[in-house]
Amino acid sequence: MLERYELEAFLTLAEELHFGRTAERLGVSTGRISQTVKKLERRVGTPLFARTSRSVRLTPVGRTLYEDLLPAYRQLRAAVERATAAGRGVLGGLRAGFVTPWGGDLLTAAADALLAAHPGCEVTVREVPLDGGVRALLDGTLDVQLATLPVREPGLTTGPVVLRDDRVLLLPAAHPLAGRPSLGPEDLAGLPLIVPTGTHPGYWLDHHYPRRTPSGAPVGRGPAAATWQEVLSHVTAGRGVAPGAARGAR
């Protein structure tokens, strides 16, 4: 029988495929996750993950175990959450996610307003990593997310636009385009764009990280990044450029 920390470590690593992000989500050290997974693999008798210095992926046995365990884990967690809510007298819970700092400010203010009007509710606000896309909505980890459009996923409902902003291009300070007062889509020609890793759908990537300019000139691809800090590091090192929001520049 799996213990709770083994189950959570395995399922989270199967979703993240990254030991550091798994440790961050569970609030433990990377070494603890590695030890837990190795212990579980010894118990099962076969590797559950194939690891290299650059990647982590599920083995066929690991994939089967993940698909078998996930529904049962969700049922168990939902039952505990319902019992906890009933014990606290909470009438309902809402899990909300954001990607950008200003998105976090908006959601926190909205949560405060909701709780003031309905003190019997419980609201959890958490950050979604750059490479997370809307995966947390699709797998039921979040109930609502302040996401960057477009979102056209089956089963998800898109609400009203709550924030608009100008687009900017993150460039090294010494880049020839950095001194321009403004840039247009054609200026992306030949530039290597830093693209987020993760599960973003193709239509979303094409919208924000196009492979061609409107006139058809090719746009390059730079290194991939899982966090905004990685994006900034790549830009600073001159490895590529990245689109962003004006609020991010400020």
What is the per-residue pLDDT for 221?
Answer: 94
Say yes or no: 216 and 244 in one domain: yes
Annotate 25-81 with three-state secondary structure.
Answer: HHCCCHHHHHHHHHHHHHHHCCCCEEECCCCEEECHHHHHHHHHHHHHHHHHHHHHH
User: Is 152 inside a domain boundary?
Assistant: no
Say yes or no: 210 and 188 in one domain: yes
| Phi-psi sector, 155: left (phi>0), alpha (psi -120 to 50), beta | left
Say yes or no: 178 and 213 in one domain: yes
Taking the C-alpha atoms of residue 33 and residue 191, their distance in angstroms, rounded to an integer, is: 38
User: Is 134 inside a domain boundary?
Assistant: yes
The contacts of residue 213 (CB under 8 Å, 6+ apart) are 185, 186, 188, 189, 219
Structure tokens at 74: 């969700």
Identity of the amino acid at 236: T
Q: Which of 85, 118, 138 is where one domain is finished? A: 85
Say yes or no: 10 and 62 in one domain: yes
Regarding pTM above 0.85, the answer is: no
CATH of the domain at 216: 3.40.190.10
What is the per-residue pLDDT for 131?
Answer: 85
CATH of the domain at 59: 1.10.10.10
Which mean pLDDT values do the consecutive 10-residue runs of the chain (250 residues) have? 84 92 90 92 92 91 92 84 66 86 88 83 89 89 93 90 91 92 94 90 92 95 90 93 86
Say yes or no: 179 and 110 in one domain: no
The parent domain of residue 68 ranges over: 4-85
- Average pLDDT value for the chain: 89
Q: How many domains does the chain have?
A: 3
Do the bridges between strand 56-58 and strand 49-51 make them parallel or antiparallel, or are there none, so unpaired? antiparallel
Say yes or no: 131 and 177 in one domain: no
User: Is 153 inside a domain boundary?
Assistant: no
Say yes or no: 137 and 109 in one domain: yes
What is the per-residue pLDDT for 101?
Answer: 81
Say yes or no: 176 and 237 in one domain: yes
Say yes or no: 56 and 25 in one domain: yes
User: Is 161 inside a domain boundary?
Assistant: no
Say yes or no: 103 and 54 in one domain: no
Taking the C-alpha atoms of residue 38 and residue 191, their distance in angstroms, rounded to an integer, is: 42
